[in-house]
Amino acid sequence: MSPEMDPPHRLPWSGLATDGSDAEIGVLGIPFDGASSFRRGSAEAPDRIRSLTPHTAPFSEDGTPLAGLRLRDYGDVEADPTWKPFSAKVSEAAATVLRHPFALFLGGDHSVTIPLTAATSRATHGPLGVLQLDAHLDLMDTFEGRSWSHACAARRILELPNVDPSLFAFVGTRSWLDDERAYLADHPEVGIHTARDVCAYGVGRTADSVCRQLDGAASVYVTIDIDVLDPAFAPGTGTPEAGGLSTRDLLELLRPVFRNLPVRALDLVEVSPALDPSDVTSFAAIKVLYELFGWVREGSVI
């Protein structure tokens, strides 16, 4: 197809991108995978996801047009191999993105959620609720000698001053470590919805439980580790776990969460393009993001 025959959405973010500071959605990429404990490659995800968006029509799956929604992409945080200065740069950049009604962050491994939630916590007046969709708990105090490993992300979030364990929910869990079980034994108020629970009780009941638990939050941060999906739906990730959710499960779970809770920000992490045959995982991530755009367009989060 010649350039003059290209469809109008054959642009970054399907033509939704703008330079306006009043855009409904702010986007930031965090291309960092230095905290991965197994296979790397998630640092490539922000660029790969962006590169595929011109091939995605600007509609939600139910036919809601996304035209008119404005999205400002701030690009990527500059890479830095040293965690402390890099984390500070991420927090600073996130504060700018959080000036928009909704903030979207593209990782990167799950460690990037540590400075992102810290920035969101500072921008939240009142308790911050957190929903983590993940095969793993990431509740280790340290892992492989690092307190900022991607296996420690949830533990660091739970140390934030306005994050109470009673306002933290996991969905899709199917991998455990001894220290994580000990932490949860001491904090039974944390919500745990395993992948098997989702299968046994259904997506709707799980979503209802999450919404009831996080109802008292002033704002909610959603973090999606793409390995919450079964590897059949998201093979391109560093630490896959069989027995996960389907892409449909994930979409149907998120829909009532966005409808009923004050979701302020979301990150999507652990997509590894180098491990992703046919871009299956990147396209799954884009599907989630574009449905999110539809919910924003409908006014669910603004």
Q: How far apart are CA 45 and CA 41, in angstroms?
A: 8
- 184: its two tokens: 């949860």
CA 253-157-203 angle, 5° bins: 10
Comparing CA positions, the residue from 25, 27, 28 lying closest to residue 101 is: 25
What CA–CA distances, in Å, run from 56 to 2, 9, 79, 197?
18, 8, 28, 33
Say if residue 95 is exposed, middle or buried (CB neighbours under 10 Å; 0-12, 13-18, 19+): middle
Establish if 302 belongs to a structural domain: no
What does the pLDDT read at residue 38?
65
Tens digits of residue pLDDT in 148-204: 676 789 999 999 999 999 999 999 999 998 999 999 999 999 999 999 999 999 999
Q: Give the other-Cβ count within 10 Å of 242's Cβ.
A: 10
Whole-Å CA distances, 180 to 47, 112, 214, 245, 291:
33, 20, 21, 22, 32
Question: Which tens digits make up the pLDDT trace of 97-140?
Answer: 999 999 999 988 989 999 999 999 999 999 999 999 999 998 99
For residue 212, tell me if it sits in a domain: yes
The candidate with the shortest Cα–Cα distance to 67, out of 7, 6, 107, is 7
Give domain status of residue 190, yes or no.
yes
Range of the structural domain that residue 268 is part of: 3-297
pLDDT above 90 as % of the chain: 77
Is 158 within the bounds of a domain?
A: yes
pTM of the model: 0.94
The enclosing domain of 146 has a CATH number of: 3.40.800.10
Residue 8, in any domain of the structure: yes
| Number of compact structural domains in the chain | 1
The mean of the pLDDT values for the chain is: 92
